[in-house]
Amino acid sequence: MLFHVRMDVAIPPGFDPVERDKLVATEKARALELQRSGAWPHLWRVVGRYSNISVFDVPSNDELHDILSSLPLYPFMTIQVTPLATHPSDLAAQTC
């Protein structure tokens, strides 16, 4: 199943800068791991914001929830999830 996911991050002001750097490095490592596994095939930055738009490819809602809640920055995120389905006019969906 494909999911469009927007993640907006809001680390509180005054958060310890050393801990913030560690948290961000751990988040990056987890994101790379998920991308290499194929579960997170697309990741784009939202210009001018501490946000991203992503596509996840996982078997179920529960697996997506488990992945998102495993992200180190999860406690500081607002997340919007939209399940995706194939559009009948998508060129890739056309059969010859």
Q: Which pLDDT tens digits describe the chain residue by residue (96 residues)? A: 999 999 999 999 999 999 999 999 999 999 999 999 999 999 999 999 999 999 999 999 999 999 999 999 999 999 999 999 999 898 887 775
Q: How many CA atoms lie within 13 A of 2 on its CB side?
A: 9
Q: Is 43 exposed, middle or buried (0-12, 13-18, 19+ CB in 10 A)?
A: middle
At the second CATH level, the architecture of 2-85 is 2-Layer Sandwich (3.30)
- What phi and psi, each to the nearest 5 degrees, are found at residue 40? -130, 75
Q: Which amino acid type is present at position 85?
A: A
Q: How many CA atoms lie within 13 A of 95 on its CB side?
A: 0
Break the chain into its structural domains and give their ranges. 2-85
Position 90 scores a pLDDT of: 87
Question: 7, 54 in Cβ contact below 8 A?
Answer: yes
| pTM metric for this prediction | 0.90
Give the total residue count for the chain.
96
